[in-house]
């Protein structure tokens, strides 16, 4: 089967992009990253993509009059690169409903909370303020409502006494780097079925069970 041609959208550091790029190099991995696009041309993640020989494009959103005009350019850049599927990896700009419609069920996002809890910005601060004992991350299909859509993979990590947003974010990020490549693999293998607001995974075996992984804190 041909590899799924993936475009990754970023806005900054790009550690999830790096996890995806590194995993795509694994022999036999069913997806390849054919374009990385950032709405911030100075995003560090673009440099990593370039160094790995992946086309990296800076599309400065400030140069556009409207979100619609920016998303039209984004769509065109993705189309020219032959992208079939989009991963948002720390892409901190809302997509227009028009773009989401054009790529219906072909965009996934990673969010640093166990959705539907703690949508939006500052997910770790929200989790700490709520006093939850488990935090985590979620990969989901993108729908027009922010941080909503069928859930493909989640990982839980413990919240430890003394955590602040930074220490919790670092622990969650380790889990993100595991489940994002896993979710992409499941999609590229065509094992994810979307039925309404839910995603079902075909043929999940124990060692790749997406839901309810408990990832221990680093020692
Ligand atoms: C990640 O923690 C990701 O989950 C989060 O931004 C960070 C990006 O880090 N995304 C969101 O909050 C989107 N709502 P990275 O650039 O190192 O991948």
Instruction: Give the DSSP letter string of 48-72.
Output: HHHHTT--EEE--GGG-SSHHHHHH
Residue 212: per-residue pLDDT: 41
Say whether both 116 and 202 belong to one domain: yes
Q: Which of 23-27, 193-197, 200-204 has the lowest mean pLDDT?
A: 200-204
Residue 203: per-residue pLDDT: 86
Q: For the CA atoms of 20, 57, 108, 128, what is the dihedral angle to 10 degrees?
A: 80
Say whether both 113 and 100 belong to one domain: no
CA of 173 to the centre of ligand 1 (A): 8
Q: Which atom of ligand 1 is nearest to the CA of 111?
A: 4
| Element of type H or E holding 171 | helix 165-188
Residue 210: per-residue pLDDT: 44
Q: Which of 104, 134, 166 is the last residue of a domain?
A: 104
| Mean per-residue pLDDT over the chain, rounded | 93
Say whether both 69 and 128 belong to one domain: no
- Which residue owns the Cα nearest ligand 1 atom 8? 90
DSSP state of 94: P
Task: Render pLDDT for 49-99 as a digit per residue (tens, 0 to 9).
Answer: 999 999 999 999 999 999 999 999 999 999 999 999 999 999 999 999 999
116 prior amide bond cis, ω within 30 = yes
Please determine, for residue 31, whether its predicted confidence score (pLDDT) is greater than 80.
yes
CB 13 near ligand 1, within 6 Å: yes
- Which residue owns the Cα nearest ligand 1 atom 10? 90
Say whether both 156 and 194 belong to one domain: yes
CB 15 near ligand 1, within 6 Å: yes
Pairing of strands 107-111, 134-141: antiparallel
Q: Which atom of ligand 1 is nearest to the CA of 176?
A: 4
CA of 169 to the centre of ligand 1 (A): 9
- Which residue owns the Cα nearest ligand 1 atom 17? 15
Say whether both 96 and 137 belong to one domain: no
Helix residue spans in 25-153 (DSSP H): 44-51, 67-80, 97-102, 123-130
93: closest CA among 126, 123, 125, 60?
60
Q: Which domain holds residue 33?
A: 1-104
Q: Which of 62, 81, 104 is the last residue of a domain?
A: 104
Say whether both 116 and 81 belong to one domain: no
Say whether both 100 and 199 belong to one domain: no
Q: Which atom of ligand 1 is nearest to the CA of 14?
A: 16
| Element of type H or E holding 31 | strand 31-38
CB half-sphere exposure, 68, CA atoms < 13 A: 2
pLDDT interval class at 218 (50, 70, 90): very low
Say whether both 145 and 170 belong to one domain: yes
pLDDT interval class at 107 (50, 70, 90): very high
CB 142 near ligand 1, within 6 Å: no
Say whether both 7 and 89 belong to one domain: yes
User: Burial, 125: exposed, middle or buried (Cβ in 10 Å; 0-12, 13-18, 19+)?
Assistant: middle
Say whether both 118 and 50 belong to one domain: no
Q: How far apart are CA 154 and CA 156, in angstroms?
A: 7
87: closest CA among 37, 29, 159?
37
- The number of folded domains in the chain is 2
Q: Which one of 88, 89, 171 would you pick to mutate in the ligand 1 pocket, going by the greatest count of ligand atoms within 8 A of its CB?
A: 89
Straight-line distance from the first to the last Cα atom of the chain, in angstroms, rounded to the nearest whole number = 40
Say whether both 51 and 89 belong to one domain: yes
Residue 205: per-residue pLDDT: 60
CATH code, domain with 11: 3.40.50.170
Q: Which of 82, 104, 126 is the last residue of a domain?
A: 104
Say whether both 139 and 190 belong to one domain: yes
| Over residues 183-202, mean pLDDT | 97
CA of 11 to the centre of ligand 1 (A): 9
């Amino acid at each position: 089967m041909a590899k799924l041609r993936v475009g990754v959208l970023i806005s900054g550091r790009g550690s999830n992009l790096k996890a995806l790029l590194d995993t795509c190099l694994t022999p036999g991995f069913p997806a390849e990253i054919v374009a990385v696009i950032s709405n911030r041309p100075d995003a560090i993640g673009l440099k990593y993509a370039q160094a790995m020989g992946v086309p990296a494009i800076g599309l400065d959103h400030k140069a556009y009059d409207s979100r619609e005009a920016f998303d039209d350019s984004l769509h065109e850049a993705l189309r020219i690169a032959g992208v079939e599927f989009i991963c948002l990896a720390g892409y901190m700009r809302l997509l227009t409903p028009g773009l989401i419609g054009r790529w219906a069920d072909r965009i996934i996002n990673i969010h640093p909370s166990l959705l539907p809890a703690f949508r939006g910005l500052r997910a770790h601060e929200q989790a700490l303020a709520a006093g939850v004992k488990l935090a985590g991350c979620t990969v989901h299909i993108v729908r027009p409502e922010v941080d909503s859509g069928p859930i493909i993979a989640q990982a839980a990590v413990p919240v430890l006494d003394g955590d602040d947003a930074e220490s919790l974010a670092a622990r969650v990020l380790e889990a993100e780097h595991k489940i994002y490549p896993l979710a992409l693999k499941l999609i590229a293998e065509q094992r994810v079925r979307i039925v309404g607001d839910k995603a079902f995974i075909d043929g999940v075996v124990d060692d790749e069970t997406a839901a309810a992984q408990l990832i221990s804190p680093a020692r």
